[in-house]
Every structure is written in C-alpha cells, then in structure tokens.
Structure 1
Amino acid sequence: MNQDVLDEAVLRPSQRSALAELTTPPAPQAPPRRAPRVDKNVRVAIVHDWLVTYAGAERVLEQIVACFPDADLFSVVDFLDDRSFLRGKPVTTSFIQKLPKARTKYRAYLPLMPIAIEQLDVSAYDVVISSSHAVAKGVLTGPDQVHISYVHSPIRYAWDLQHQYLQQSKLTNGPKSALARLILHYIRNWDIRTSNSVDTFVANSQFIARRIRKVYQRDAHVIFPPVDVDAFVLHEQKEDFYLTASRMVPYKKIDLIVEAFARMPQRRLVVIGDGPDMQKIRAKAAPNVEIMGYQPFKVLQDKMQRAKAFVFAAEEDFGISVVEAQACGTPVIAYGKGGALETVRDLSSSRPTGMFFEEQRAESIIAAVEEFDTHASRFVAADCRANAERFSAAHFRERFFAHVRSAVPALQGASLPVYEPYVATPAVSGAAQAPRVLAIDQSGVLGGAELSLLEIVKALRARIEVVLFDDGPFRTALDTAGVNVSVLDSGALREVRKQGGTPPLGQALKGVAALVRATVARARHADVIYANTQRAMVIGALAGRLARRPVVWHLRDIVSAEHFGRKQLRIIKWCAKLGLAHVIANSAASARAFADLTGFDEKQIDVVFNGIAAAPFDALRNVPVATLRARLKLPQDAYLVGSFSRLARWKGQHVLLEAMVLNPHMHAVLVGAPLFGEDPYEVELRAFVANHGLGDRVHFLGFQHDIAACMCAVDAVAHTSITPEPFGRVIVEGMLAQRPVVAARAGGVLEIVEDGVNGVLCEPGDAHGLADVLAELRSNTALRERLVRNGYQTAIARFGTAAYVAGVERILKGVVGGKKAR
C-alpha cells in the first residue's frame, strides 16, 4: 500500500497531536475541478459489477438507468437473458466475458476482476455512476470526472465476512487456504486504494454507511434501495400462520427459523424458497412446517398478504423482503441487526410494524414469536403499509437524482425524467434476439424427459411457455418454477402407446385436431416450437406447419422397432419430412437411429447430452446414510442395490430381482412406479418376490420426489434395461450421488460409462453376470472407490446443466435465425 495512504489510515486527523498540527506544513490545495460545460449534454456512464441475474443490486441498477435513460452501461460480464430491466441497452464488458466457462464460473475470476474493471474505458464521460458490491467502484476516472458510487456493500467476503467465506468454501487450512487469503489481502488493499477515486459515496442503509466509514474512512449519503411496493396489496385479514421466504443459503438462517417452529408445534410456519440448504432445512421440518420450495410471485404475494407475521433471521445490508411484507400489511419478526433496524419500527414506536430478537438462535426466535403473540393487537396493517411506502421506487429515483444533481454543477437545472415503463421493441430478426419458445410435452408425470425439460424451462423462464397434454406432478413442478404452463385435454390420445396401441381412428383424429388448434393459437406468440416427446412432436409438426413456425424435436428415444410400433415409426418418418426444422438427440445412439429411419440431413441433427444438476446430491454430502435410511424405512446394516426408473418390463427390474435370488447377501431397493399402463408388470414383480421368499430383502418405495436422498441411501446403483437405453439419466445421477454404477451394455449407456473406469457394464438381461458384478463391488473397496471418484468427475465434466442449457438454447436461436418451417 502507498505509504501516504497508510499514514492517513493509521493517523486520522482527529487523533493527531497539537504539535503535529503546528509542525506539519499545510497540505496543498487541490485545483478546482473543471465542471462539465452547461452548453452540452452531460455524458453519463453507469458501471455495474456483473450482469447475470435480476436480484437486489439489479433492482437498484434498473432505477438508476431510469434516472439517466441516455447513459451507457459497463460491466465485467453480461450473461443476461431477460434484458428488459436495462431498457434494452447494450453493455460494454471486460475481457472476462470471453474467458472459458465465464457464464457459469465468473466468480472464479475474482482475482482478475480488479484489473478487468480498470480496463473499462469511461474517459469520454462527464459523470460515472458505479453500482458496486464488489469491484465496480474501482473503475478508473480522471480529475475532471465526477464519480458517484452507490455501494450495496464493500466486498463482504474480503472484509468482515472473510472467515465465514473461507469456512463455507472449506478453505480454512492448507495451500489453497493460504492462496485464498493472499488473494483476499490483495483485494482489500486494492479496495481501499480505489476508494480514493470516488467523489461521493451513497450507501443503501445506515448499516452499510457505517461499514463504508470503517473500511474506507469516508462518509456516505444514505438512500434506501427501491422496493416495488406497488406490486404488493394491503391485506388486513390475517390467518393463523407465519411465513419466511428466502433463498436457502447459510447466512439467511432459514434452518434456525424452521428449527424454532419445529419446537412450537402449536404454531404453523410456511417456508418459500429454494437453494443449497434445502435438504438440511427439510430434515429439520416438523409436521407444522410446510416447505413449499420455489414459488411463482403470485403465490409468494398471496402468502405474504395472509400471513400473521413474516419471520426474518438474516443479517442483511437492507432486506427487501422485510419491506415487501410490510407493504402487504404484514408485521415482521426480524433479527435485530443490519438493515432491518432501519426498515422496521419495533414496540418502542407508537405505530409499530414488527419486533426484533437479539440472537441468531432458535431459543431467541421462539421467545420473540411468543412475545409477538402477546402484543399482536398493537400491529396495524395500515401502519405496516405506510412504513413500507417510504422505500418505493419513485422515492428512490427522486432522492438519487437529486443527489447526483447536487454533485454535478452542469446538472443544477436538470429535472428527473418522467418514468415510463419499458416496452421492448419487437426484433426485426430473430437471429440477434433470444427467441420466444413454446415447449410442448405429452405427459404430466415426472419422467426422465420431463426432468430434463424442467432444467431448460428454469433457465428460459422469462421467455418460454409450456403446454402439457396431461396434468400431474410435472405441471406442479413447472408451477413451482414460476413457468407459464397450461394443460390441454388430449382426450382419447391418452391411450396411444409407443408399441402401437391406438384408440378408434375417429376419436384419435378428433383429439389430434383439438390439440393442434390449441397449439397453433399459442404458437403464434412464439418464435419456435420445442417438442419434448414423441406425441408432442406430432402435434408440434402439424401446428408448426399451420402457424408457420419452425419445430425442434428434442429426441429422447431410440426410434427403432424395439421401442416403437410400426405405425408410430411411420408417423415419425412422415412428421420429419412434414414439419421438423431440427432434431436435438440426447445421445449419438438416438441420433443414428433417427437418421437411419428418416434419412434426415445430419446437419439438422445435433447431439446434446442431458444436463443433471449436482446441487441436490452435493447438499446431502454430509448427511449420514443412517439418517437417510431411517427416513425411507430401509434397513441400516444391509448392502442395498438401488434401481431407479418407472416400473416397465424393458427397464428390466426383474433382472435385478433374479440377481437377488443368486446373491443372498444383498437387498434390492426399487424406486419408481408403473406410469403408462404398466401395472401388470408391478404385479408380476411382487409375485416373483413372494414366490422366492424375498419379501424382507426387496423394498418397493414407489414414486419418490427426492431421488437424491434415495440414491445416497443405497450402496450401489443398478441400471438393468433389457433394450437399448437412449441416454441413461439414472447412471449420471448415480455418479453424482457418488455411488458405484452397474449398467447394461447397450445404447446411449456406452457414451457415459467406460467399463471398469467410471462404472461397470453387464450384458442386458444377464442376471448371473449382474449378480457376479454386484458381489465384486461389495467385496472390493478399491474398485468401488475408483468407480465413485471417476464417475463423479465424468458427471460434473460432461453432464452439467449449464452446458446442456447452453447447447439447447444455441440450437433454438440458430433455428429461429437461420431456418424456416419446413
């Protein structure tokens, strides 16, 4: 650090002696700043840390852009899909934008961000406004530029939260820890140095202003961040339940709230949100605690309006959800530290809007809830709403624009632009814009195809609509993900099966016509139709032809006589010629079979491996196997071999049962249910178990939502399909669960498993071979460890969700930009 800066940091003016004041020569006066000329427009640049999502910092950025609609934008990276909050503005980015895996691993480039932000050239602007919680305030400015920095927080993980960050990242000791500490030390020095180039700081709360004072030795003007209070309606009638809503990450302390209410069975708690701590939080829940997971805004709004109180246990810089709850007229029970102290009026006020607890402990929350019940009559919904309105977006724009105007002489006579909601201009060509997608799927159940589609719609949520031909758990999952979804009545078409079963021709044609009409109506608002299943592809091809929209089929089957009847194969071949612009295959095996059947141009077929999220499995890494087995009512000491798929003959669960007869030292766990008229097969399996005396060694768990927990509860995963599998999602999930995988040697499986390296291959239908391999796995520790280690690396490197989503999105964009409906 520069010695002058260090001296100033150590010996502040208020601490200097009288002798020092007399003997130190007066500091030279800085020359006056050249004010921007008033006879020209003031040029404004807005610099933001990174643009990857729409969260609290981006809400502030949205309103700053509204204050200065002609400003130019700069950011370290920009990977936004929905750009509406930026009013369609382009963004100048740094060299990190083009580095490998920057879209998903941009935080890993933190050591390069100081130099990256310094390479953004804003020298042509009169005013620079940085929106900073990391490095944006470090942008280089000249002596005649005014730099105003709205600070959400100094870099938290480099300052007071460093030790918490290192613990959560498991970097408390060792060489990596030393390197991380060295990097954070460098960032702290850089952070202090660059604070000197900021002319005026704005903080989002008094709490952050104090942090700025402590870190930078600078005062900050406080302007609370904008909250969209108009999106929440005052609701005076409250119901007898408490609410908490947040992303489930450690510092939010949702687990403490759940633990507290689990010890208060007479009180009901509703929890909304998702994140890495989900499994940990579910484990602490009691019957009086409802874990809803991620919910669309309308559900959150409804629960927030009707809740008796909103419970908040995090130490936040501000805490937008606390204000949103009060906008609904709902009082708040909050941890008494951080920004909540500035947004909630406690019982010492004549018009209280909530109360505080002193410690982040379950006991403290319990005491606060009990005290809240005692004083419940003092909380008035209208008072909560009035308090929340102090933090409206309009109020933020007025205060922020006034602050910038007072700091820039050339803006003295300027007035705040009239706020107008942004309406996107329709694109001239779909090639340059992210396309609007109509996704269609025939099923309401949560099969492998539907789970894979769910990853796509989560990523493209803002510009995708989903149509299902049947209702069920998949529709619920889509609702939970906040996706626009509708269910069409498929009528007699529900009876169509891959193997050729069909309803009477008249009924079938009537059902097809109805689905096509409804799909055409929706397709007119989309740029591309994305069909996820075979029956959906047929409807999509017809609808695409009528609506003049390109159709992309995500092929998740091997289209051969082993999987489809002759009629279905003819229909697939006909639809390929009629209306398919492109095919995405989930494996090379699927792609080859489709090309052989249809003669489709190979340039119109791409292979994109399914992406499977590691987070649900990683979240269970520290959960004891005994805990998972107890939850699922599985034996604690047995060697458990798991099968994970719907109960269907071609999935080969009977092969695993035959192997159990040959291997008396093992148990089989069958996770799955008959989904498509395959109930007789389940009856057959149960009869086999009874006839061979396997009742105490075979465990039918039926359909399970938490596949990760089931996989982490077993010792090995068996994939036993007797006909070629198009992909083999279960195999990758087993690798992510860090369990050794045994799989059938056919189809797409061969593109995942390298025999003896990351899994073991057996001949399809060979029960003796399967029994021998499972026995070897049980006794050979070195083999198990090698398969687990290599399998996990394979799953992460080749089958991650980011690459999967990016691949599908790239193809959809290419089809919209370069192809027409066939």
Structure 2
Amino acid sequence: MNHDIVEEDLLRRPMTRDTAADLITTPVAKPPVKRRQARSDRPARIAIVHDWLVTYAGAERVLEQIVACFPDADIFSLVDFLDVDDRAFLRGKPVTTSFIQKLPLARTKYRAYLPLMPLAIEQLDVSAYDVVISSSHAVAKGVLTGPDQVHISYVHSPIRYAWDLQHQYLQQSKLTRGPKSAFARLILHYMRNWDIRTSNSVDAFVANSGFISRRIRKVYQREAEVIFPPVDVDAFSLCEAKEDFYLTASRMVPYKKIDLIVEAFANMPQRKLVVIGDGPDMQKVREKVREKAASNVQVIGYQPFEVLRDHMRRAKAFVFAAEEDFGISVVEAQACGTPVIAYGKGGALETVRDEYDPHPTGLFFSEQSVESIIAAVESFADDPARFRPADCRANAERFSIGHFRERFFGFVRETVPALQRTSLPSNDVPVGSAVHDQTSSALRVLAIDQSGVMGGAELSLLEIVKALKARVQVVLFDDGPFRAALRREGVAVDVLDPGATRDIRKQGGTPPLMKAVKGVASLVRETVERARHSDVIYANTQRAMVIGALAGRFARRPVVWHLRDIVSREHFGSRQLAIIKWCAKLGLAHVIANSAASARAFAELTNFGDRRIDVVFNGIPAAPFDALRDVPQSVLRARLNLPQDAFLVGSFSRLAQWKGQHVLLEAMVLNPGMHAVLVGAPLFGENAYEAQLHAFVASHGLNDRVHFLGFQDDVAACMCAVDAVAHTSITPEPFGRVIVEGMLARRPVAGARAGGVTEIIDDNVNGLMCTPGDAHALADTLAELRANPALCERLVAQGYQTAVRKFGTQAYVEGVERILTSVAGAKARLTS
C-alpha cells in the first residue's frame, strides 16, 4: 500500500498563531447542520436572499458569484433599485422584493426604513424552496425558513451599527443626545434582540473573513466557515516596474482615515502620495492638504477603473488605514504586484503577508495615527526590495473568483444532502489556481485512495483536493479520520466497502482468491459508476491504482497514478510487482512520482516511457510549524510529559521494521546522555515489531530514556519539542516527508542515505546523512549535533530555506493540476 511507504501515518491538525499557546487543543465543534433527505423526483430548489439591491458594490460582487454557483436559483431582496447598467451580474433574473419597494422615497431613503426591515424580510415567502442562501450584512439572514429547509447564511458582518459600531454610528449621525437619540437607541436595541433571535434559524454560517467569524462567535455564539469574498484578480495584471509614489484609494468616509494618511505624508515631503476617491470627507481631505501646504500630496478625486488600475500597477506601495471586514482594494493592489502598508487590524491581517513571512507582501502599523503611519512608511522605504511583486500577485490569487466559487459551492454541497451529486457549473468559471485555460476550469477529477487513515499519502492528497475543491470527488476504500478531514474541506467523498481486499498486503499476503476477486469486482463496479462523471481518474495509492486501472478501461477514462513507492522487491512481493507491471501496460495514462528514485524504479520495472512519468515533489505546508515559532520548547515538553533538560531525538513514522526505529534505540545505547521520542504506532499487522521495541528498551534499561508517544494529533508540536529529528529507514525511502517537516520545524535532521532522502538532504549543508541501518554511524552523527550548536544553527537555517523553496505546497499543487489537465485534455482531443 502506498501510504505504507511514507513516514508520518499520523493524525494532524495545523495550528494557527491564535491557538499555538493552547498547543494541542480540541477545536470547538460546529453545531450540527439540519439535514433533510434528498428527493429523487426533482432537483433541489434554491432561493438566494440579499439585503437590498441599489448599487454594485462588495456585497453584490459576492451575490454575483453565488448566482454563478447556482444559476437556477431565484433571487429575493428587500428592494431592487439597480440601474439598467448595473443589472448584468444578475444574469437577467427577476427579483422578488418586499413591501418597502413601494413605500414613499424608498429609492433614495431606503435606509430610513430600518425599523421596518425585520418585518419586511420576514414577509418574503421562500417556503417553496429546499435550500435558502442569504447574503447578509443587515437583515437577510432573518428570512423565515422551516424545519425541512436548509438555510446557509454568508455574512459580510452582523449589523455593524447595531453592535460594536453603534456609538460611532450615533456620533456620525449626530444622534448622541436628545429625543431622536433615545429613539435611535431604542430601535438599535430592538434590532440586536431580533438579530440574535433570528441567528438560531440559520443552519450554517459562512463568514467573509476570520475577523467576521470572530464577530459571529461573539454576537451569535456560533461558529462560521471562513470563505473570503471574490476579487477579480484577473482584471489586474502584474507590474514589476514601480514608480516613486505611494497610493491610497477608497470612498472618502470617516472610518477610512484618508485624512490621517494625507497628514502623515504631509510630514514626509520627500515621499509622494496620490489619493483617488470621492465621498463626504473629500472637502476635509482637501483642506488638510491646503493647511499643511503638502505639495507632495496629489488628490485627484474619483477616477474611472482604468485610471485606478494604472496607478495601482505603478505605485511603490498601497497605503490603507481602515479597519475593514475584508478590504478588496488591498487584494487588488497585490494583484498588481504592489505591496501594502496597512493598519494591522481587521481583514488586512488575513490578506497581507507581513515582513515576518518568508514571502512578505506588505507590513502593518499598529495604530491609526500619523506617527504610526510615518514609521511604517519609513520602514518600508528602508528596503522595498524585500517585497517582491511576484509574491504579491501570488498572494492575491488566493482570493480569486474561481477559488471563491469552488469553496462556496463545495461548502453548500457538503451541507445539503440533496446537492451531493451536483457539480459546480463549468461554463465561464474562471480559475484562480495554477492553470487558467478553459480545459482546467472544466476539469472533473475522481480521486481514489485505499485508506481512511491520515498517512503521508493522504495528507498530500488533501492538499490537492483543497485546491480543486468542487471539481473533485474522492472515493475511499476504508473509513476513518481522512474522510472527516475531507468533509471539513467541503469535498465530496464516498466510502466503499473494500471487502476482502482490505487484507491484501504489499509483501504478498492475500485473502482467498475468490473473496479477493469478489472484493475487487465490487470496487471496480462502484468506481466505474463514479468515473463516468469525471474527466480523469487520479489514483493516490497502489491498491487504488489497480482498481483505477480496471475502472478506467470500463469507463474509458484516463488514469493517473501518483506513485509514492519504490516498486522493488524490498517493498513489494513478486505478485504485487507483477500486478503493477500489468496495470502499467493495461490502463495507466501517466505516472506522477514523488521522487526521482521512485520514478527510476518504476521505469526499470515496467519500461514505462519517460514522457509519461513526471517527478513532482510532495508539497508540505509550513504554517503549522511557523505558528509554533514563538512557543517556548519548555511549554511543548510539559504538554507532552517529556523531560525538560534532556537532549531529545525524535522519530516520526509508524512503527515498522523497515522504518528502523530499532536503529535509533541501538544508537541510544551508545549515547547514554540522550533520549529518544517515538511518535507513531503500528498500523498494518506490525504489532510484533512494537513488542520487540519495548522488549529492547526493557532489556537495555532504557525505560527512562525512550518515550513512546503513539499517534499524535499535532506532529508539528512534537517536532518542535525535540532537539533533533532522526530518519532511520533501513531500506530506500520513496521520498522522506518527515525530513522536510523536520526542516520546517527548524530542527537539525539526520537521515539515512538512500532513495528519495538524497534528493532532499545536501549532506552537511541542510542536514546530515549516515549509512542506513548503521547504529554506530547514527550515534556519532547525533553526538556531533549535540556537541556543535554552530553546526546545528547552520543546518537549521539552510534546511528551512530548502523546505520552503523546494517543497512548498503551491508548486506541488500546480504540478499535479497541470498534469491532470494535460492528460484529460489529451484524452478529449483523441475522442473528439
């Protein structure tokens, strides 16, 4: 089995900076979503409810993409006063409105009817629909739904002026005292009560940022999935050549703090600022320029999109001082390759990578003050070259229209059983990932994996399906934590009964022939049924490859095998090798190998053409490790009940003979001052090996120096708790994921010199290598690491750079997606 080969068959949950201090905590469970059985006689009917339609702004951009995800849905809104020129995003759909539409002066004074809005939204009749999707920044989430309807609410924000911004709203409206103020406060109090009550009728919340997710938790005591709003990054092109001016652009309203930016630049006459925008504060801004005689500040007012885009592309940096829920302009600037200097609160913290990130796209200032802005601009000007335009563009593409559609559609599909078999409409869907052509946008992938365990192969597949989202369906041949992880990402997943094939082993162990044949036939039949709705079958493990090759022949779909094994007699029995050769000849269109070592062994076994084999290194995210950067090692050790003052050497893989944990224990005998930490457990009938390890520990008096931690949810925390990471496989490793993770954890790594390990470690540069199975060599290597802090520091620095540069997730996902798209396209051309 392919996931037998990789190192970390361990359950994982990445940590964020917010949760790092709590270490291995259990996340708050989302409330159960009400689910009704899918009807078989007709497709699910969907209603989309929006607050009000009066202009095409940020909330309407989200609505546009929700409509694109569900083009057959009907639209409801309190009022609809869109001009003809602004209606195109509704795709010609009629809008059902409330009684406010016909009230006096509603076109211009609709906000004055706020006290009536709760009543009005409750009068919209959506009872005929199976699914209700509300797009809400005011009252849309309060639409009435029944117990058999699923209500999903995309929240731009809980009603701002009724909650934490009430006092600011009253001040700006000059309602701080008097009878009008008392009435306004009474209305807002009523709105808050109504807002909380109606939150209980929402089955699932989606927030447009982590910032709004925290607001939802604070106000409604509910968890929310974060799906960033769509930004049309394709409307902006990368510009590497920057000119000597800074830019700020927004509607000029008080909370945007444009006056602060202008005053800050007035105190930096050597820095030029261009201001684009219009609004109530325009006069205030112009007066500030005149008052300060700021000839270096140019206020050019409202400008057409083409002018704004041109300035964004050429600007040295984009300055942003507002506390926004998200901040689309910040992403648009980065889409142009322009770094951002932003106030470090709100959505900017999620859309800008600060100077401490390996690929920074901007920096933050801590206060909305002139002094803080000046300090940030000067810091930026000291070394603007550290913010690369290409990094800014790559960061912006995370918020593309294609990514939004895939994530939102996937979330709705996962929440609503009646939509489980539906696919994201592929017509005119832009893709914000690696491949932007029409073939990629329509690509439909059936990914198959034999395991429900979160092994290394499964972790790697998870990165792929997170990127493909609504374009991929996953089939597993066993249930387990992997299924739960896929569902959390909104990915469609089916679990098939593997029957007797569950007992097939790489080294040749098989169940009775007829039982095995029956199990294979059942899996092939079920896979063929699902493959007919896909363009390509993507097999992630060895047993899945066999089923995929057979299913591909019947369904007439190309099969791509992601090879994560060295297919040799050291790892496979003769029967399994013969089956691999047969499948290669019968039904494999392409092979993706996780290392050159894996590719060579496969080519030698099968004579598979080089043009049909590509090497794509596994992509491993750095975020879980970076989140622990500031957590003291003593805290991690205390949490794991590890000794505080010992030199700890960590081993991270399932307990198996060929993984060589016994070699590490033998090295411990030779190094009395060290402790070994073994993270992992036996998985596939290897309990006898675990017993051997425990017996060795007991017979050599190592009980106090060897720590068996078993499976751990957070491997990053375990790695950061040790002093060094040892990779001890006694037969060639296909890749060596644990080595890259050790590098990301900023720990010196000692690896066995064989297989894919030699493609990761440059000996004595980013790690150390020793002879596989040689306990004396390993003991000497570990002793050198313990005695030479300067060596460790050098290896750690180079190792981290290698891991981020060579084994990042972006290159991995792009490589796999490119190959799947190419194979599917070639098949389509042959059959057309």
TM-score (norm 1): 0.55
Q: Which residue of 2 aligns with 1:494?
A: 502
Change (3 A) 1:471 1:783: same
Counterpart residue number, 1:446: 454
CA distance in 2, matches of 1:477, 1:489: 19
1:574 and 1:759 map into 2 onto residues whose CA distance is 39
Q: Report the secondary structure of 1:96's partner residue.
A: coil
Structure 2 residue 70 is matched with structure 1 residue 67 = no
Does residue 1:767 correspond to 2:775, yes or no? yes
The answer to whether the 8 A contact 1:430-1:816 is kept is no
Q: Retained in 2: the 8 A contact 1:47–1:129?
A: no
Q: Are positions 1:637 and 2:641 aligned together? A: no
Q: 1:138 to 1:634 in 2, by over 3 A?
A: closer
Task: State the secondary structure of the residue aligned to 1:611.
Answer: coil
Q: Name 2:492's counterpart in structure 1.
A: 484
2:656 alignment partner in structure 1: 648
Match of 1:511 among 506, 519, 523: 519
Q: Does 1:779 align with 2:779?
A: no
* 1:726 and 2:746 correspond: no
What displacement does 1:486 show? 1.0
- Alignment partner, residue 4 of structure 1: none
Which protein has greater RCO, CA pairs closer than 8 Å, 6+ apart? 2
Where does structure 1 differ by over 4 angstroms across 4 or more consecutive aligned residues? Answer: 45-49, 54-66, 88-92, 109-115, 127-132, 134-140, 150-185, 295-302, 421-427
Residues 515 and 539 in structure 1, CA contact (< 8 A), matched pair in contact too:
yes
1:77-88 equivalent positions in 2, closer than 5 A: none
2:608 matches 1:600: yes
Identify the residue that residue 717 of structure 1 maps to in structure 2.
725
2:693 is aligned with 1:685: yes
Query: Of 474, 477, 481, which residue of structure 2 is paired with 1:466?
Result: 474
Q: How many angstroms apart in 2 are the aligned matches of 1:761 and 1:154?
A: 48
Report the equivalent of 1:316: none
Q: How far is 1:137 from its partner? A: 10
Structure 2 residue 812 is matched with structure 1 residue 804: yes
C-alpha distance 575-713 of structure 1, shift in aligned 2 (>3 A) = same
Alignment match, 1:96: 238
How many equivalent pairs are there? 510
Aligned to 2:593: 585
Q: Is residue 622 of structure 2 the alignment partner of residue 614 of structure 1? A: yes
CA shift digits 1:122-180 (9 cap, x unpaired): xxxxx998699x9699799xxxxxxxxx9975967756548997996456899996555
CA contact (8 A) 1:46 1:128 kept: no
AA aligned opposite 1:68: A
SS at match of 1:562: coil
Q: C-alpha separation between the residues in 2 aligned to 1:546 and 1:774?
A: 53
Q: Is the CA contact 2:247–2:311 (under 8 Å) kept in the aligned structure 1?
A: no
The question of whether the paired residues in 1 share the 8 Å contact of 2:766 and 2:802 is answered with yes
SS in 2 for 1:807: helix
Q: How far apart are 1:95 and its partner, in Å?
A: 3.4
**CA contact 2:413–2:490 (8 Å) conserved in 1:** no
Per-residue CA deviation, residues 432-470 of structure 1 (Å, 9 max, x unaligned), is 534111000011111111111111111111111111101
- Is the deviation greater in 577-586 or in 469-478? 469-478
Superposition deviation, residue 67 in structure 1: 2.2
Q: Decide whether aligned partners of structure 1 residues 815 and 589 sit closer, same or farther in structure 2, where only a CA change above 3 A counts.
A: same
Distance 1:503 1:113 in 2: 69
Alignment match, 1:623: 631
Aligned to 1:520: 528
- Residue 251 of structure 1 corresponds to none
Local SS of the residue matching 1:742: strand
The 2-side partners of 1:151 and 1:610 are apart by 35
Aligned AA (1:96):
L
Q: Distance in 1 between matches of 2:771 and 2:355?
A: 42
- Do the aligned partners of 1:111 and 1:183 also contact (CA within 8 Å) in 2? no
Q: Residue 819 of structure 1: CA displacement? A: 3.5
String of CA shifts for 1:11-52, please: whole Å, max 9, x gaps: xxxxxxxxxxxxxxxxxxxxxxxxxxxxxxxxxx99999xxx
Structure 1 unaligned regions, length at least 5:
1-44, 72-84, 101-106, 119-126, 141-149, 186-227, 229-246, 248-272, 274-294, 303-420
Identity fraction in percent: 62
State the distance in 1 between where 2:576 and 2:708 align. Answer: 33
Q: Where does residue 566 of structure 2 map in the other structure? A: 558
- The 3-state SS of whatever aligns with 1:743 is strand
Alpha carbons of structure 1 residues 61 and 659: separation in structure 2 relative to 1, 3 Å = same
Structure 2: runs of 5 or more not aligned: 1-54, 70-74, 76-81, 92-226, 250-271, 276-301, 315-323, 331-339, 357-362, 366-371, 385-403, 418-422, 430-436
User: Which residue does the alignment assign to 1:572?
Assistant: 580
In the other structure, the counterpart of 1:356 is: none
Cα distance, 1:476–1:176 mapped onto 2, change above 3 Å: farther
> Could you report, residue by residue, the CA deviation over 1:667-720 in whole angstroms, capped at 9, with x for unpaired residues?
000001111111111111111111111111000010112010000000000000
Q: Name the residue aligned to 1:531.
A: 539
Residue 480 of structure 1, CA deviation: 1.7
**Distance change in 2, residues 1:435/1:753 (3 Å):** same
Q: CA deviation at 1:90?
A: 10
Quote how far apart the aligned CAs of 1:425 are: 4.3
Counterpart in 2 of 1:263? none
Q: Secondary structure at the residue paired with 1:606?
A: strand
For normalisation by structure 2, the TM-score amounts to 0.55
Pairing 1:170-185 to 2, within 5 Å after superposition: 180-182=379-381
3-state DSSP of counterpart to 2:816: helix
Distance 1:67 1:430 in 2: 26
What do you get for the CA RMSD once the two structures are aligned?
4.8
Letter in 1 for 2:488: T
Does the 8 A contact of 1:612 with 1:733 survive in 2?
yes
Instruction: Sort the Cα spacing of 1:798 and 1:151 in 2 relative to 1 into closer, same or farther, 3 A.
Output: closer
Q: How does 1:258-269 map to 2 (within 5 A)?
A: none
Letter aligned with residue 725 of structure 1:
E
Instruction: Indicate the residue corresponding to 2:549 in structure 1.
Output: 541
Residue 663 of structure 1 aligns with which residue?
Answer: 671
After TM superposition, give the deviation of residue 471 of structure 1 in Å: 0.9
Name the aligned partner's letter for residue 634 of structure 2: A
Task: Please give the per-residue CA displacement for 1:257-314, whole angstroms capped at 9, x wherever unaligned.
Answer: xxxxxxxxxxxxxxxx9xxxxxxxxxxxxxxxxxxxxx95588899xxxxxxxxxxxx
CA contact (8 A) 1:642 1:669 kept: yes
1:363-416 per-residue CA deviation (whole Å, 9 max, x = no partner) reads xxxxxxxxxxxxxxxxxxxxxxxxxxxxxxxxxxxxxxxxxxxxxxxxxxxxxx
Please say if residues 587 and 609 of structure 1, whose CA atoms lie closer than 8 Å, have aligned partners that are also in contact: yes
2:531–2:551 Cα contact (<8 Å) kept: yes
Partners of 1:531 and 1:621 in 2: CA distance: 36
| Distance 1:151-1:732 versus aligned 2 partners, 3 A rule | closer
Name the CA distance, whole Å, in 2 between partners of 1:819 and 1:593: 27
Closer/same/farther in 2, CA of residues 113 and 167 from structure 1, 3 Å limit: closer
The structural deviation recorded for 1:631 is 1.0
Taking a change above 3 Å as real, the CA distance of residues 607 and 159 of structure 1, as seen in their structure-2 partners, is closer
